[in-house]
Amino acid sequence: MDNTQSRKIRKSGNSYVLTIPPNMLKALDLSEGDTVQLTKENNSIEITKQEPDVINEEFLKLVDTIYDENKDIFKSLVDK
């Protein structure tokens, strides 16, 4: 794999877009939809894949809904 490739920065709305070649995505174990962290170091940027949060807001809302629907069952389990 070539470790150096040139890319142009494009404007998209109020943001800027930089494309990543498929071979670099594969080497970094990245795919569409992944979240990355950008770290500026001197005059360079390091790209690191962020692992998804195991517990997110959607999951917590689901737990709250299940608890609310089954309060009596959960309370009876505490008493046992």
User: What burial class does residue 57 get, using C-beta atoms within 10 Å of its C-beta: 0-12 exposed, 13-18 middle, 19+ buried?
Assistant: exposed
Which domains, from first to last, does the chain contain? 9-79 (2.10.260)
Q: Specify the amino acid at residue 22.
A: P
pLDDT surpassing 80 at residue 69 = yes
pTM as predicted? 0.53
Of 50-54, 58-62, 66-70, minimum mean pLDDT range: 50-54
CA angle 43, 47, 52 (to 5 degrees): 150
Where b means 16+ CB within 10 Å and e means fewer, 5-42 reads eeeeeeeeeeeeeeeeeeebeeeeebeeeeeeeeeeee
Tell me, what's the pLDDT at 76?
Answer: 86
Per-residue pLDDT of 7-52, as tens digits, reads 999 999 999 999 999 999 998 899 998 999 999 999 999 999 988 7
